[in-house]
């Protein structure tokens, strides 16, 4: 925790009160909180008129006295202090303190710190906004604290563009940070979906028994801003040299830089080096172990080592549980270090790739409570429901062929019950679709030319200019979404929604979703195939076989890219397989129109294992319907 600066006397008539204030400050620094409270109480009984200052300091000292765990009580007192203040910059009468920050100003900052550690980042940004708006008017030490917390909050909410602009404001306007050492600008990193989190310097509640803010000379303040500066530049894929200082924070940031540059092997080696060095030095903490295990899992997930990734995520959860056993009685720093939601999100994705949908669904239930505005998370939950339903169908078919009949699967009481069923999948997809359509209307295009990167113009940022950049950060905890990722996600939602509607018998919605899928821009060949297949099936089920045949024309399959089929985790691994599936469905449409001869001729060429058995069954059905061929032999 940061400590306050020693108070100074500024008026002749305050010798006795000033002496008590100095004693209180000294007792606080010595962790003699009971004695400090007694001195503050004595000051109040003497009629000291700096009421808000004493009230704030008494609340902070009481918080420290209880072991820094009663943050709810402190927050309530801070809320009352700021509510009673007439203005953010209220100046107290009575004792004047050297470079003294008003009680309401420090209370607002401390209140935002508590919300930050509680992972309530949006609320923390709102509470800190009045101080950020008058950052230039604050004294330098308080301005540095507010700037550090604001930068941490922007990074925590994945507002990377705005964080970089705010960093420029701190560097060029307020001169709070120096220029970071840059590397070769040609070494640009590629965009990644999810980067492993890096340990950032924690904000601390400012204890001000004297009512003063922390001076810039406080140890660690400059280092904190420097680390946040490097994190901001790395996350924005800027060429920057990271000089390791032997601490895990800078070493972990170097690993993250390797990850963003897609050098996954070096990123893993860097993390293992951190673990080995800290183990030898005896400085391993549950927070560090959680960070390393999670980041190793992210790396293995990125290179499709799903089983290894799941193991690392499970280890990270075990380490994190040591921190989160009793969060209500934990310190703010411990509460801030808990990352169960993010780890469970990662574990759920790994379980999906391992085709363990039930476990994946259970993992997603926890983060969806916090990240309920993330459309990608709702899509992942729907995918888990679909995969579980398909697995049950396979199991039912297998058991139906055995001698022992199986019991009928349970039927959910309500579609709103969080169970891995198609009914709940439909609910998830509606949420995902509504959110994605809303975010698409607010999507911000950012165009940066290569000339701007290589030869930037001199910057003169102002208080308002850093607020202009926008971030498409609507998929927290993942990084901001590109336009291509947004369109791919929209196509995946339409395809899944159409499939689920077909399974549930909602043919109208299935057709609507498939048509919207086919109308998407930059549609992949795989999604184009699915769109035509689902539209054709929906039309056939609506007794519109003639219209269905328009979607099942096999000629369009020959124009599809084979690579798009080979690289996907599904059954259609080749264009030949896709041709066979489309031709089979076209034969079904022909049979529904009683064009049996042409349908039978089409079925004769279907040899792929995916449709061979179904084609044989359909051919026998048509043989029975056509009757025996004159002069022929029964098949």
pLDDT of residue 356: 95
> What average pLDDT does this structure show over 486-498?
95
pLDDT of residue 180: 64
> What average pLDDT does this structure show over 529-558?
90
pLDDT of residue 630: 56
Could you tell me if 25 and 228 are in contact, meaning their C-beta atoms sit under 8 angstroms apart? no
Could you tell me if 199 and 155 are in contact, meaning their C-beta atoms sit under 8 angstroms apart? no
> What average pLDDT does this structure show over 506-512?
96
| Spatial separation of the C-alpha atoms in residues 420 and 357, rounded to whole Å | 8
pLDDT of residue 431: 96
Residue 368 is encoded by which pair of tokens?
Answer: 């969806």
| Spatial separation of the C-alpha atoms in residues 2 and 172, rounded to whole Å | 27
Q: Is the pLDDT of residue 126 over 90?
A: yes
| Spatial separation of the C-alpha atoms in residues 446 and 444, rounded to whole Å | 6
Q: Is the pLDDT of residue 607 over 80?
A: yes
Please give the domain boundaries of the chain with CATH numbers for all domains.
247-354 (1.25.40.10), 366-397+419-448+472-545 (1.25.40), 552-630 (no CATH)
pLDDT in tens, 454-485: 444 555 556 567 777 778 888 888 888 888 89
Q: Give the chain's mean pLDDT.
A: 80
| Closest of 568, 503, 500, 587 to residue 529, by C-alpha | 568
| Spatial separation of the C-alpha atoms in residues 380 and 374, rounded to whole Å | 10
* Three-state SS letters, 429-491: HHHHHHHHHHHHHCCCCCCCCHHHHHCCCCCCCCCCHHHCCCCCCCCCCCCCCCHHHHHHHHH
The kind and range of the H/E element at 226 are helix 221-235
> What average pLDDT does this structure show over 501-505?
94
pLDDT in tens, 355-369: 999 999 999 999 999
pLDDT in tens, 257-285: 999 999 999 999 999 999 999 999 999 98
Could you tell me if 118 and 335 are in contact, meaning their C-beta atoms sit under 8 angstroms apart? yes
Angle, CA of 511, 517 and 519, to the nearest 5°: 105
Q: What is the dihedral of CA 309, 310, 316, 322, to 10 degrees?
A: -170
> What average pLDDT does this structure show over 33-41?
86
What is the percent of the chain where pLDDT is above 90?
A: 37
Beta-bridge partner residues of 212: 100
For 100, list phi and psi in degrees, rounded to 5: -75, 130
> What average pLDDT does this structure show over 53-59?
84
Could you tell me if 474 and 377 are in contact, meaning their C-beta atoms sit under 8 angstroms apart? no
> What average pLDDT does this structure show over 118-143?
90
> What average pLDDT does this structure show over 217-232?
67
Q: Is the pLDDT of residue 205 over 60?
A: no
Could you tell me if 59 and 104 are in contact, meaning their C-beta atoms sit under 8 angstroms apart? no
Q: Is the pLDDT of residue 557 over 90?
A: no
Residue 344 is encoded by which pair of tokens?
Answer: 């469970």
pLDDT grade, residue 386 (50/70/90)? very high
> What average pLDDT does this structure show over 398-402?
73
Could you tell me if 48 and 54 are in contact, meaning their C-beta atoms sit under 8 angstroms apart? yes
pLDDT grade, residue 603 (50/70/90)? confident
| Closest of 392, 412, 396 to residue 404, by C-alpha | 396
- Which of 66-75, 454-463, 503-512, 579-588 is the least confident region? 454-463
Beta-bridge partner residues of 100: 212
Residue 179 is encoded by which pair of tokens?
Answer: 């220029």
What is the percent of the chain where pLDDT is above 70?
A: 79
Question: 0.75 cut: is pTM over it?
Answer: yes
Could you tell me if 330 and 69 are in contact, meaning their C-beta atoms sit under 8 angstroms apart? yes
- For the packed helices 507-518 and 525-541, what is the interaxial angle rounded to 10 degrees? 150
């Amino acid at each position: 925790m940061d400590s306050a600066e020693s108070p100074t006397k500024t008026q002749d008539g305050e010798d006795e009160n000033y002496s008590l204030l100095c004693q209180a400050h000294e007792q606080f620094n010595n962790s003699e909180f009971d004695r400090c409270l007694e001195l503050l109480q004595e000051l109040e009984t003497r009629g000291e008129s700096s009421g808000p200052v004493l009230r704030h300091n008494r609340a902070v000292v009481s918080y420290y006295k209880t072991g820094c765990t009663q943050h709810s009580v402190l927050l309530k007192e801070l809320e009352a202090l700021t509510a009673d203040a007439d203005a953010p910059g209220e100046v107290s009468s009575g004792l004047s303190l050297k470079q003294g920050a008003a009680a309401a100003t420090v209370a607002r900052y401390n209140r935002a710190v508590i919300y930050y550690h509680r992972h309530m980042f949006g609320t923390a940004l709102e509470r800190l906004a009045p101080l950020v708006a008058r950052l230039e008017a604050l004294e330098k030490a308080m301005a540095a604290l507010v700037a550090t917390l604001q930068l941490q909050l922007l990074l925590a909410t994945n507002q990377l563009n705005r964080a970089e602009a705010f960093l420029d404001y701190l560097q060029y306007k307020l001169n709070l940070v120096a220029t970071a050492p840059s590397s070769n600008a040609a070494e640009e990193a590629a965009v990644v979906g999810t980067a492993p989190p890096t340990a950032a310097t924690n904000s601390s509640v400012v204890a001000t028994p004297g009512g003063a803010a922390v001076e810039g000379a406080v140890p660690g303040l400059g280092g904190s801003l420097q680390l946040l500066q490097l994190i901001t530049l790395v996350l924005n894929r800027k060429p920057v040299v990271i000089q390791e200082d032997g601490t895990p924070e800078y070493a972990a940031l170097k690993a993250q830089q390797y990850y963003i540059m897609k050098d996954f092997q070096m990123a893993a080696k860097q993390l293992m080096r951190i673990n080995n060095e800290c183990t030898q030095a005896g400085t391993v903490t549950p927070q560090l172990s959680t960070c390393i295990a999670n980041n190793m899992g992210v790396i293995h997930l990125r290179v499709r080592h799903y089983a290894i990734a799941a193991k690392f995520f499970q280890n990270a959860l075990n380490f994190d549980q040591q921190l989160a056993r009793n969060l209500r009685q934990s310190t703010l720093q411990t509460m801030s270090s808990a990352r169960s939601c993010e780890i469970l999100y990662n574990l759920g994705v790994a379980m999906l790739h391992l085709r363990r949908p039930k476990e994946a669904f259970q993992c997603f239930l926890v983060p969806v409570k916090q990240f309920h505005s993330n459309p990608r998370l709702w899509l992942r939950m729907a995918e888990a429901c679909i995969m579980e339903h398909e697995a049950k169908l396979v199991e039912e078919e297998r058991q139906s062929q055995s001698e022992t009949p199986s019991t009928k699967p349970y039927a959910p009481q309500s579609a709103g019950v969080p169970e891995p069923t198609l009914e709940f999948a439909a609910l998830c997809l509606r949420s995902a679709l509504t959110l994605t359509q809303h975010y698409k209307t607010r999507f911000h295009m950012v165009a940066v030319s290569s000339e701007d990167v290589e030869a930037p113009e001199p910057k003169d940022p102002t208080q308002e200019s850093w607020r202009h950049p926008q971030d498409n950060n609507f998929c927290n905890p993942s990084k901001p979404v590109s336009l291509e990722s947004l369109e791919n996600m929209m196509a995946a939602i339409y395809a899944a929604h159409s499939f689920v509607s077909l399974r549930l018998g909602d043919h109208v919605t299935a057709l609507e979703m498939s048509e919207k899928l086919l109308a998407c821009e930059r549609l992949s060949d795989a999604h184009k195939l699915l769109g035509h297949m689902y539209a054709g099936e929906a039309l056939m089920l609506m007794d519109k076989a003639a219209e269905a045949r328009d979607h099942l024309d096999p000629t369009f399959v020959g124009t599809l890219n084979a690579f798009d089929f080979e690289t996907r985790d599904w059954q259609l691994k080749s264009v030949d397989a896709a041709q066979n599936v489309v031709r089979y469905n076209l034969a079904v449409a022909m049979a529904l129109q009683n064009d049996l001869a042409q349908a039978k001729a089409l079925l004769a060429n279907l040899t792929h294992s995916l449709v061979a058995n179904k084609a044989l069954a359909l051919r026998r059905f048509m043989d029975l319907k056509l009757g025996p061929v004159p002069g022929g032999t029964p098949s």
